[in-house]
Amino acid sequence: MSDANTSDLARRVPDSWDTWQYGIFPHPKKSELALQYLDELLRDYPTGKKLPSEREVAAQLKITRSPVREALIALQMVGKVRIEPGVGAFSVAEDSGSSEKSAFSLLAESESPFEISELRKVLEGAILAAAIAELTPESLKSIERAFQGMVDAHATGDMDRFLDAHREFHLSIAVASGNSIFERLARWMLCYVMTQPIWEMVMHRRLRETSTRIVNSIDEHREILDAIRARDSQLAQALMAEHFAGVG
């Protein structure tokens, strides 16, 4: 294709993944916008004052609550707020030496759990359909082992082990698809992004929000597994969509 027939956008496409990683088309994360708003509020807040709720901040910024939650968790990780589950977030006396990283750099260096969840909602149904089409007895056993790992981890109250088994469940489905691109995307999302500190904080908080959250997650994954065993692609995709509808 000649330069004359090549769009400006196409000419700007980078020739390596490393270039993409650093954002040739910069777009602010919604969590960064929420963090900027909250950080400005905190400048005038006395120690111990309660911040606006996630819902109130989301309404003010016209975004969903998930990016606000990410911003609050980043502030908690650097010691600027204290989060009390079911109560809210409170300002903390700032200690300039308490953290080597700012909340802004923490968000900048991590992928957004909210945005990754949105990506997974789009991708995982297609990956699941491909996995069922290519399913073998061996790949089914791998998915079953991962699910059993989730059940066993819950029984012992091991949250880290549960999250590892949860990642393995979804990764085993991608491997079962036989599609190397699906598998690489899944490994990036599940083994790189989902092990970043801010993601792990978000996941731990989600799972501990209610006593039934993990039980519900196990039930949802059991239903997906049953649909995979039955080779029912339509049902499996519908169940996966329902599973992700509850994430965030």
What are the DSSP calls for 179-236, one per residue?
-HHHHHHHHIIIIIGGGSHHHHHHHHHHHHSSTTHHHHHHHHHHHHHHHHHTT-HHHH
**Same domain as 215, residue 186:** yes
- Among 56, 77, 108, residue at a domain's last position: 108
In a domain, 3, yes or no: no
The pTM of this model reads 0.69
Strand partners, 50: 90
Strand segments (E) across the chain: 81-84, 88-91
pLDDT tens digits in sequence order for the chain, 248 residues long: 444 444 444 344 444 444 444 444 456 788 889 999 999 999 889 999 999 999 999 999 999 888 898 899 889 888 899 988 889 999 997 654 444 468 888 787 777 777 888 888 889 999 999 999 999 999 999 999 999 999 999 999 888 899 899 999 999 999 999 999 999 999 988 887 777 777 767 766 666 655 578 889 999 999 999 999 999 999 999 999 988 876 54
Residue 198 sits in a domain whose CATH number is 1.20.120.530
**Same domain as 210, residue 155:** yes
**Same domain as 225, residue 142:** yes
Residue 63 token pair: 């975004």
- Among 60, 84, 108, residue at a domain's last position: 108
In a domain, 233, yes or no: yes
Whole-number Cα distances in Å, 121 to 5, 109, 153, 201, 241: 35, 23, 25, 20, 7
